[in-house]
Amino acid sequence: MLDTTTDDTVRSFLDTFGQALEREDIDAAVDMFAEDCYWRDLVTFTWNIKTVEGREEVADMLQNQLAKTKPTAWQLADGEIATEEDGITTAWISFETNVARGYGLVRLRDGKIWTLLTSMVELKGHEEPAGVDRPLGAKHGAGKNRPSWKEERDAELRQLGYTKQPYVVIVGGGQGGIALGARLRQLGVPTIIVEKNERPGDSWRNRYKSLCLHDPVWYDHLPYLPFPPNWPIFSPKDKLGDWLEMYTKVMELNYWTETTCKSANYDEANGEWTIVVDRGGEEVTLKPKQLVLATGMSGKANVPDIPGADRFKGDQHHSSQHPGPDAYKGKKAVVIGSNNSAHDICAALWENDVDVTMVQRSTTHIVRSDTLMDIGLGALYSEEAVQAGMTTNKADMIFASLPYRILHEFQIPLYQQMKERDQDFYDGLEKAGFQMDWGDDNSGLFMKYLRRGSGYYIDVGASQLIIDGKIKLAHGQVTEIVEDGVILEDGTKLDADLIVYATGYGSMNGWAADLIGQDVADKVGKCWGLGSNTTKDPGPWEGEQRNMWKPTRQDGLWFHGGNLHQSRHYSQFLSLQLKARMEGIDTPVYGVPEVHHLG
């Protein structure tokens, strides 16, 4: 027989907690939290993506939001059991608010809430037509002059943006825009995705030819359509481009290719954008209520302003514009930078008989891909996890349930294991002169990514080329460019026929400055980063990614981006926020932070 004691304990706890919330007894509810508690809410209570820390912040959030949300029906989620390990009881839960149904994960320690994750699943009365509620498709019976599915779809494509206006315009048609577009389509939100490239997926196809995803397939599914079981673990960029193009067709997205946004202006009085686009040479004016910039986690390419660049006689370009190694066989290349793109490009150049030197300007965190899969991601995103019953949604929710304030504490021992497992590998890199780090607090790659997203490489082979001396290594800043090479700060000259600036990207709000205006970009502030007061992520502490997937200080303006995992996961919560506004549902936002203008 199953031991139901833990389940009964959790049920009793949830009953008591729910009753305190229903009678708006905030003191009683707060007393059920540990002193060092964390409540991460994905839209349900805060209409925001917000973590409150400690009882005082929990109390403040409830004082502002409880009467507006009226939560009820707290219980163990259907089909789930509570577990207990090392003094921590963990349970999947479900609940409702006055307008939505929610799902979450609670961890109890000593009979108190240590961590609580609450997330919005669906809006009442506006559920997705999926599963048993999917559309019939066929029109049974007889009727004169009825349009076919194709005729209805063609009419929608002709009308939206012309005789009918979209509610949402998404600028950027990579994985972020596509994932969000799919969610909004399912929710019945009229949406146009604007993409400057010729085809969906070209944002991947147009990158250097050796590019593959460094994340494994189980981490990278898009909403509704997971990759098939024979999909390669690491997706080649052209294969991924084909998948994204297929996805836009199957999900019936209104995807405008060869379309460039020229300007966007917001009418505060009418709550409406005026967006002028060039669609294949035709100027079109769109009037959406909501504008989403889905231009990736990063912004515009950072190209350093180095004296003498204008007199270089060879080729020079940012890594985002790198065409691949074919034209440089037998030549000399200098790649400035030492993160993912720099390593990939250096390896491809070496493979094509290019004499290549990597200029490492600062320390870089390295982790081997197979080690990251085994130790870092395997418990949630792997074939073994799938076989053990782990779903993508559960994996996402488990990951989301760990508050950013303490996430590094869970990461540090994992990266220590990785370091010990691959010690010979790291000894080889050190001997080759490669300068490494493990993050400010030894918490490794993912925390670096969250803290402004740079300073690491997931090794898929380039590191061994460095160890073997096949990719040459130089250190320091480039102070000058001459006709045939670069000069480092110590006076060293590196001869070059090609210079690649693998120098990263600026904040996403650079796109807002270009499209809308610097005043709006300043009003919103920078995107990404937690405020952890670590390298490249200065404080103050925010506890969530700045401005991402949630309301900003500019009405009607949203940012959506990140890797495939984040595009999938957070598109759910951004789409529900947009749907609620379209339907006129009250969305009282709690916790929009002050603007901080970061470098």
**Are 5-123 and 309-501 equal in CATH topology?**
no
pLDDT at residue 2, rounded to an integer: 44
Residue 595 is predicted with a pLDDT of 57
Residues above pLDDT 70, as percent of the chain = 97
Buried b (16+ CB within 10 A) or exposed e, 40-58: bbbbbbbbbbbbbbbbebb
Q: Strands (DSSP E) along 67-200, which ranges?
A: 72-76, 83-85, 88-96, 100-109, 112-123, 168-171, 191-194
Ranges assigned E (strand) in 386-460: 456-459
Q: Is residue 439 a contact partner of residue 448, using CB atoms and an 8 Å limit?
A: yes
pLDDT at residue 599 in the model: 36
Place of tokens 């080759």: 432
* Residues forming a β-bridge with 251: none
The per-residue pLDDT for 453 is 66
- Topology (CATH) of 5-123: Nuclear Transport Factor 2; Chain: A, (3.10.450)
**What are the structure tokens assigned to 186, written together?**
């399912």
For the stretch 120-169, pLDDT in tens is 999 999 999 988 888 888 777 777 888 989 999 999 999 999 999 999 99
In terms of CATH, what superfamily is 149-300+507-582? FAD/NAD(P)-binding domain (3.50.50.60)
**What is the per-residue pLDDT across 415-464, written as a single tens digit (0 to 9) for each?**
999 999 999 999 999 999 999 999 989 999 989 989 876 789 999 999 99
With b for 16 or more beta-carbon neighbours within 10 A and e for fewer, the 97-114 pattern comes to bebbbbbbbbbbeeebbb
pLDDT in tens, 213-245: 888 999 999 999 999 999 999 999 999 999 999
Q: Is the pTM of this model over 0.75?
A: yes
Domain boundaries, the chain: 5-123, 149-300+507-582, 309-501
**What is the CATH T-level fold of the domain 309-501, as seen in this structure?**
FAD/NAD(P)-binding domain (3.50.50)
Per-residue model confidence (pLDDT) at position 508: 83
Where on the phi/psi map is residue 151: left (φ > 0), alpha (ψ -120 to 50), or beta?
alpha
Q: Are 506 and 515 in contact (CB under 8 A)?
A: no
